[in-house]
Chains A and B, each alone.
Chain A
Amino acid sequence: MALIRSSSPHLHNAGSTPKIMRLLLIAALPGIAAMTFFFGWGTLIQIGWAMLLALGFEAAVMKLRRRPVAFYLRDSSALVTALLLGLALPPFSPWWLTLVGVFVAIVIAKHLYGGLGNNPFNPAMVAYALLLVSFPVDMTRWTAPFVLHADDGWQVLGLIDTFKVIFGALDHSAIDAFTSATPLDELRHRGGLTTEEAFRESRVLADGVGAWHAVAAAYFMGGVFLLYRKVFTWHTPLAMLGSLAAISTLFYLFAPDNFADPFFHLTMGATMLGAFFIATDPVTAATSNRGKLYYGAGIGVLVYVIRTWGSYPDAVAFAVLLMNLAAPFIDQYTQPRTYGHAKPKRGLKEDA
């Protein structure tokens, strides 16, 4: 007998926690494919390495906490964290960077706070932010999309060489041809140029930007799939993308020479990954639907503010962490009204 009520096409059962996590992994496949196509084998190696580490750390912590290891490994939440970190790290980042990142994510950000469901901050983003602050050089050396160094055909650093680079057998200076700054970085360090000039002068901005567009589109596809499968509701992604689009449109209309256009903001950096895979992490987000709108909108605005006036090129990790911090507060003020009660309970008033 089919598990799906045949008369209604949109009535899928989102199912258990392990199933939700597996759906997330599946939904990231287009993004992984796009990253690999444009930036080479590094992404795949990072994800695999991060997943191995995550499973190891998760098992070790569960052992220490005297919990059933197999049961908790089956929920795949560690794999999702590893996946997000693997996607966010530069494809050629060295093995120890990933190791530190996964350790921080799984052991410190997740389990020291009580494990799945109790962590106030998104583990992958804690790790990313920590790495970015501690190892800025390694974290900003991004891979050049293949479209920049080949006029014809698909040419990326070979699989074996990529392994060698990541695990230290090949020096980074040997592969300088394969690295470049990201578009967000280029635009931030454009010197005295206007945005229009920067788009003409910089190779990444002029020719390479399409790679990022395609990756964003792939994440977007995965996000729509997750929405369709009701893994999360539309509120957070729509609010985040909406507020980012709104604020960037406002500044772009006001001064197009100084500010990037809204499409650029929506498709560059981790915007789409963040909107559909990071901000939607239920554990660290606001819970009610109205709360999710505020939460998502907050992330969108913060992303723009930090990208434009902050000292880091991308801002999704910081924006998500800051809104993680605000989520319990948002929850206090956005709980729905209990049926039959005249007023919703708001804030921290102790009236009971």
Chain B
Amino acid sequence: MSTPYPTQSLDSSQYFDTFGDLLGRPWRGGLRLRDHKHLSSGNAIRPFPSGATALAIPLEQGRSRARPCVEPGQRVLKGEVIGVGDERNLWVHASSSGIVKAIAPVTVADRDAPVQAVHIATDGRDEWIARPTPGQPRTLAELADFSMRMGLAGLGGAGFPTGVKLAGAGLTDFLLINGAECEPFITCDDALMRERADMIVRAADFLADLLGAGRTLIGVEGNKPEAVRAVKQSITRAGSRLKVRRLPERYPAGGQPMLIRALCGRRLAPGQLPAAIGVQVLNVASLHALGRAVFAGEPLINRILTLTGSCAHPGNIEAPIGLAVRDLARFAGAETTDIHVGGPMMGRALDDARAVIGKTTGCLIYGARDWLPQPEPAGDCIRCNRCVDVCPMALQPMSLYAAVQDGQHRALKTLNLDACIECGACSLSCPARLPLRDSFRQGKRDLQS
């Protein structure tokens, strides 16, 4: 198949950008992307078949580090604590029953450096530890602590511990649930909303009560009508206060500043946390995990991820954390080792074939060369302004790029590099194929050092 993906364009309303505010668009810029979601959205979520396999469960998640509390040779049950955290660090649990083999580094598919992990040889019996029906957390502080103990991390991408986020909540006017899933190819949140809307709605109501949130809104991109319908039906059944809002099909509709602006009209200033403007944002999968933890006593040991691209059985699969990417390939019927992790905009190529699935690994695209634009040699900037037109944060990528190249740190600050959400819209729209987003990541590292 010839590179079908890079089809993109300025949003048609881009032409009227001068009048964007008058037309009431919640946010400027962005791109229409060819979404390729039909590849994987056809089937129901499948569980990964239990059977003896090897898991390597990462103890680190972003800045969170758990202390291992098991030893090689020890038998662990599914859901048993294998890493101890605290109020900033997430607890880690065994995703299946088996024998601990080692505590050694492993590469997580969507992360750079290898992290410490507990390697478990599972016995295929998938035996649960006794789950005491937890007394439901009755205050926000209790819930925050409970979330840390249940290993709940944001499943949308950044993997920020849900407990830390909740602990930082002040007076909350809006609880916003992110079901935008604006990246092409990925359908795991879509599948989740279609199939498990009841749990999402229940968790949303529970969390809204604890937060004292005045309004609860879930934003879903317009290309997921079935998900919208399923969530609406659950809301009616449960008599929930949750409201569904369709988001425009414009990347990055799920970016936090865009989502907040579109759902409740507030502006999140760069560097500001949503809590500072009375908003809490949770990804729909994170909320679902919270619901499972609260109502079923299940820690976060599985995640739903999309297998798509050139494979025999694309679709969404509920896989244990720590599963090797190689095992998934067999399941998906993919032969290629050319794998892209995450969405085409924010994701990356998988370079370590022994990598495992982490909590934030949401998508594997097989045969990246067939589906995604391949790097082209960069030319010179012709100041066409497309990057500025598509930047949802209204930054000036072309000026920022020049400043990064010249190492002008002061200019980087004046041009608000810190506001860049690294969505990659600029890189995709650049006719000279300049690596804009990559250079901004570099620029941010330069500024920190």
Contact = CB atoms under 8 A, between A and B. Distances in A.
Interface of A: 1, 3-5, 8, 10-17, 19-20, 71, 75, 77, 115-118, 230, 232-235, 282-283, 285, 287-290, 293, 335-341, 345, 351-352
B384 A336 contact: no
A345 B395 CA distance: 11
21 contacts: A5-B7, A8-B9, A11-B9, A12-B9, A14-B10, A15-B431, A17-B379, A77-B382, A117-B382, A117-B432, A233-B15, A282-B384, A283-B382, A293-B18, A338-B270, A338-B395, A339-B267, A339-B392, A339-B419, A340-B270, A340-B272
Contacts of A5: 7, 9, 32, 34
Contact of B2 (A1, A4, A118): A1
For chain B, the bracket of interface size reads: 35 or more
Contact of B18 (A116, A117, A118, A235): A235
A282 B257 contact: no
Interface in B358-378: 376-377
A287 B432 CA distance: 16
Nearest to A290: B18
Given A287-B385, A341-B270, A352-B410, 6 more contacts: A11-B12, A14-B10, A16-B431, A117-B382, A293-B18, A341-B269
B217 interface: no
Minimum-distance CB pairs A-B, first 7: A340-B269, A11-B9, A1-B4, A117-B380, A352-B414, A282-B384, A339-B393
Contacts, number: 121
A329 to B, nearest CB: 15
B232 to A, nearest CB: 24
Contacts of A341: 269-270, 416, 419
Nearest to A284: B383
B398 A287 contact: yes
B202 interface: no
Nearest to B412: A352
A280 B418 CA distance: 31
A289 B9 contact: no
A17 B8 contact: no
A71 B419 contact: no
A90 B316 CA distance: 66
A4 B7 contact: yes
Nearest to B17: A289
Contacts of A338: 270, 393-395, 416, 419
Contacts of B306: none
Contacts of B377: 71
Contact of A13 (B9, B383, B388, B396): B9
Contacts of B261: 339
A77 B379 CA distance: 12
A233 B12 CA distance: 11
Given A1-B1, A3-B7, A17 B34 contact: no
A8 B398 CA distance: 28
B88 interface: no
A13 B389 contact: no
B10 A230 contact: yes
A332 to B, nearest CB: 11
Interface in B1-46: 1-2, 4, 6-10, 12, 14-15, 17-18, 27-28, 32, 34
